[in-house]
Amino acid sequence: MNTDTTDYILEFENVTKRFPGVVALQDVSFKVRRGEIHGLCGENGAGKSTLMKILSGVYPSNSYEGTVWYEGKELRLEGGSIRQATNQGIATVYQELTLIPTMTVGENIHLGKEPVEVYGINWDRLYADTRELLTQYNLDIQPQDILQNLGVGKQQMTEIAKALSENAQVLILDEPTSALSEAEIDKLMDILDNLRDHGVTCFYITHKLEEFFRIADTITVLRDGQVITSQPTESLSVERLVSYMVGREMTERFPSSKHVPGEVIFEVEDLYAREPTGSREVLHGVTLDVRRGEILGIAGLMGSGRTELVMTIFGEYGKITSGSVRLHGKELHLKNSRQAMLAGISLIPEDRKRHGLVLMQSVLKNISLPNLDQFAGFMRIDSDAELAASLEFANSLSIKAPNLNVPVDSLSGGNQQKVVISKWLMSKPEVLILDDPTRGVDVGAKYEIYKLMNDLAEQGMAIIMISSELEEVLGMSDRVMVMCEGRSTETLDIKEATEERIMALATNVATENGVTETV
């Protein structure tokens, strides 16, 4: 270890972590300066999460080789002792927030460490301490706000405040902007700048590479469990970063396509729908059509009704009050996902963990689950046929797993997404709907998903793709349908679609002759 610890709060020295049949980390060594924002970059499965689990106490010190030095001393943590890491000033803000929605901001921040006096909790002190903390770090939330009444961005501020209330010196942020709007992302960047000014060291993990260049001081790239480089952000470019991540030059972000769209096979006309409770209308007249062999992109801001639309089409969300959904001219009345699948429609959901996977089950069972009727014999499942079919899809999508019997929650996010895609492709759909298919997926896996989408379109499948990234919509679509406040505004041919025009339609603003005006 370098004896000069003045500038460094953390040093990883030859850290190696093994799982049965897999070396997740191999001789990982790099240093982290005190008070810097340190970007941790790499494809899914590169070892980022494993390394952070070592740092946060999920994996005990005796389960890996090498040494983690923290504040000049060896960091020794017991197995599963996240509290022990927190007590030493190391906290994590996870992608899935760990808060109680019915409690206030102050109650969430002080949960388990409330100021207790003789007659119970001192609520005045709890809220006063909360207000002082929020003011110190310029967090724009109120101590007595009920969490479920706040947007995702302010809920995330609460999670950060909770970590800071433990006197965190090292803060790990895992995909912190995956569910945030642009305005909320701007606010998060301001918060991180403020934390840096207060001397808090942050690990920043994201698949949105441009964010590293916006906020990170240093970037460390992992590939296949090894450190490829660790250097100041200013000495890197997006192109060099991608080449470090994937081990090769990527000359194009989106693969070239040879789509030859045919006749219209799927139509939604003037669709109105209410949320499941029936109390609020979420779709106010949506019209679209999709042709055989084309990719129709759906763009729109968060809250525009994109996900509500496709979940309603799939029979799993809204109650349709008027309008129609037709496949090959025949009107569909779908009540659930099973009926949709039998009709020839499959949906890759936005939230793969909640709606796409059974996390405790194996990769094999997740792929085959909706398709068991394909392997059903007399009172039994043909397990050999089930395995052969699942293995074929796993190989064709390059799912990285030791075998198909490992739990699906042991896979990286990108490989989990491939499992979801595999199970719905096995159902042989005519219409494939993908809702933010590359969310939380690394650049290499994104390219593989893009190639798969092009291949399917070229084979004649009709594809609907929602994406929060305009660059992805423009790079993959043949046409773009834009949504705003539960309505379809306009469908653009890709040759006439631009980021500016899409955003104008998505924000209910029309542009004519260079003049922007509210509609």
pLDDT tens readout for residues 48-77: 989 999 999 889 888 999 999 999 999 998
Pick the residue with more confidence: 55 or 45?
55
Q: What is the pLDDT of residue 275?
A: 87
Which residue bears the tokens 């942020």? 173
Cβ count near 322 (within 10 Å) = 11
Q: What is the pLDDT of residue 3?
A: 39
Rounded to whole angstroms, the Cα distance separating 62 from 288 reads 57
Q: Which residues pair with 330 in a beta bridge?
A: 327
Residue type, 190: D
Q: Do 204 and 334 sit in the same domain of this protein?
A: no
Pick the residue with more confidence: 414 or 100?
100
Cα dihedral sign, 215-217-223-228: positive
Q: What is the pLDDT of residue 277?
A: 78
Q: Do 435 and 422 sit in the same domain of this protein?
A: no
Across the range 76-102, mean pLDDT stands at 82
Q: What is the pLDDT of residue 400?
A: 83
Establish if 397 belongs to a structural domain. Answer: yes
Q: Do 218 and 177 sit in the same domain of this protein?
A: yes
Establish if 471 belongs to a structural domain. Answer: yes
Please tell me the total number of residues recorded for the chain in this structure. Answer: 519
CATH code of 151's domain: 3.40.50.300
Task: Band the pLDDT of 327: cuts 50, 70, 90.
Answer: very high
* pLDDT of 100 above 80: yes
* pLDDT of 5 above 80: no
Across the range 252-275, mean pLDDT stands at 90
Query: Beta strand pairing status for 281-291 and 264-274?
Result: antiparallel
Q: 436-469: b or e for each residue (b if 16 or more CB lie within 10 Å)? A: bbbbbbbbbbbbbbbebbbebbeeebbbbbbbbe
> DSSP characters for 68-115?
EEETTEE----TT-HHHHHHTTEEEE-SS----TTSBHHHHHTTT---
What the block records as the tokens of 181 is 């709007």
Q: What is the pLDDT of residue 251?
A: 60
Q: Do 286 and 212 sit in the same domain of this protein?
A: no
Report helix, strand or coil for 457.
Answer: helix
Q: What is the pLDDT of residue 364?
A: 95
Establish if 141 belongs to a structural domain. Answer: yes
Q: Do 456 and 482 sit in the same domain of this protein?
A: yes
Establish if 157 belongs to a structural domain. Answer: yes
Query: Domain end: 367, 395, 428, which one?
Result: 428
Q: What is the pLDDT of residue 81?
A: 67
Cβ atoms of 174 and 205 closer than 8 Å: yes
- Helices 238-246 and 443-458 meet at what angle, rounded to 10? 80
Task: Enumerate residues 6+ apart whose C-beta is below 8 A from 133.
Answer: 109, 139, 161, 164, 165
Establish if 389 belongs to a structural domain. Answer: yes
Q: Do 361 and 327 sit in the same domain of this protein?
A: no
Cβ count near 337 (within 10 Å) = 19
Rounded to whole angstroms, the Cα distance separating 311 from 391 reads 29
Rounded to whole angstroms, the Cα distance separating 252 from 138 reads 41
Query: Domain end: 246, 276, 307, which one?
Result: 246
Residue type, 450: Y
Task: Band the pLDDT of 513: cuts 50, 70, 90.
Answer: very low
Q: What is the pLDDT of residue 238?
A: 87
- Helices 152-164 and 123-136 meet at what angle, rounded to 10? 100
The CA radius of gyration of the chain, in Å to the nearest whole number, is 25
Q: Which residues pair with 443 in a beta bridge?
A: none
> DSSP characters for 156-188?
HHHHHHHHHTTT-SEEEEESTTTT--HHHHHHH
* pLDDT of 1 above 70: no
Sheet with 37-41: strands ordered across: 90-93, 170-174, 201-205, 37-41, 218-223, 226-232
Cβ atoms of 409 and 359 closer than 8 Å: yes
Pick the residue with more confidence: 178 or 489?
489
* pLDDT of 416 above 70: yes
Establish if 456 belongs to a structural domain. Answer: yes
Q: Do 422 and 484 sit in the same domain of this protein?
A: no
Q: What is the pLDDT of residue 519?
A: 40
Task: Band the pLDDT of 322: cuts 50, 70, 90.
Answer: very high
Establish if 202 belongs to a structural domain. Answer: yes
Residues 465-480 pLDDT 10s? 999 888 899 999 999 9
Cβ atoms of 298 and 465 closer than 8 Å: yes
Q: Name the nearest CA neighbour of 307 among 336, 286, 328.
A: 286
Q: Do 416 and 441 sit in the same domain of this protein?
A: no
Q: What is the pLDDT of residue 93?
A: 85
Establish if 349 belongs to a structural domain. Answer: no
Cβ count near 356 (within 10 Å) = 22
> DSSP characters for 316-338?
SS-EEEEEEEEETTEE----SHH
Task: Band the pLDDT of 512: cuts 50, 70, 90.
Answer: very low
Q: Do 274 and 359 sit in the same domain of this protein?
A: no
Q: Do 452 and 420 sit in the same domain of this protein?
A: no
Distances, alpha carbon 37 to alpha carbons 46, 92, 174, 326, 374, in Å: 20, 14, 13, 51, 51
* pLDDT of 6 above 60: no
Residues 347-395 pLDDT 10s? 998 888 888 899 889 999 999 998 988 898 777 888 999 999 999 989 8
Rounded to whole angstroms, the Cα distance separating 179 from 209 reads 16
Angle value at C-alpha 322, between 317 and 327, nearest 5 degrees = 75
* pLDDT of 18 above 60: yes
pTM over 0.75: no
Task: Band the pLDDT of 102: cuts 50, 70, 90.
Answer: very high
**Which of left, alpha, beta for 112 (phi over 0: left; psi -120 to 50: alpha)?**
left
Q: What is the DSSP letter of 501?
A: H
Q: What is the pLDDT of residue 441?
A: 75
> What domain count does the chain have?
3
- First and final C-alpha spacing in the chain: 63
Q: What is the mean pLDDT of the chain?
A: 88
Q: Do 309 and 378 sit in the same domain of this protein?
A: no
Query: Domain end: 428, 449, 474, which one?
Result: 428
Angle value at C-alpha 107, between 106 and 112, nearest 5 degrees = 125
Three-state SS sequence of 199-210: CCEEEEECCCHH
Range of the domain at 391: 355-428
Across the range 336-349, mean pLDDT stands at 92
Task: Enumerate residues 6+ apart whose C-beta is below 8 A from 472.
Answer: 254, 438
Q: Do 321 and 466 sit in the same domain of this protein?
A: yes
Task: Band the pLDDT of 97: cuts 50, 70, 90.
Answer: confident
Residues 128-168 pLDDT 10s? 999 999 998 888 899 999 998 887 788 888 988 888 888 88
Rounded to whole angstroms, the Cα distance separating 416 from 401 reads 10
Task: Return the minimum-mean-pLDDT range out of 89-103, 240-254, 296-310.
Answer: 240-254
Residues 266-305 pLDDT 10s? 999 999 999 887 778 999 999 999 999 999 999 988 778 9
Percent of all residues in the chain with a pLDDT value above 70, rounded to a whole number: 95
Task: Band the pLDDT of 250: cuts 50, 70, 90.
Answer: low
